[in-house]
Amino acid sequence: MQKGPDRLLTASDVVVEIEGVERPALVARWLSMTLLPAPDVALDGFRRGGAQ
């Protein structure tokens, strides 16, 4: 899911089952927010085209 030009939200559904037990031990939705660099920032954290 896109949450903005610099953010990406992902969701994962997780189920933990125990062998021999009818109901799941855990049911959850795991959310993770990834913050993307601004367009003028390289992945190493330095601004592109700036003074050296």
- The count of domains in the chain is 1
pLDDT at 48: 64
Is residue 47 in some structural domain?
A: no
pLDDT at 2 over 70: no
Which structural domain range is residue 19 located in?
Answer: 2-35
Question: Residue 11: in which H helix or E strand, if any?
Answer: strand 7-16
pLDDT at 1: 63
pLDDT at 5 over 90: no
Is residue 15 in some structural domain?
A: yes
Is residue 28 in some structural domain?
A: yes
pLDDT at 11 over 90: yes
Work out the average pLDDT over 2-28. 91
CB 7 within 8 A of CB 34: yes
CB 19 within 8 A of CB 27: no
Q: What is the pLDDT of residues 24-47, one digit of tens each?
A: 999 999 999 988 877 777 767 666
Q: How far apart are CA 44 and CA 17, in angstroms?
A: 41
Is residue 21 in some structural domain?
A: yes
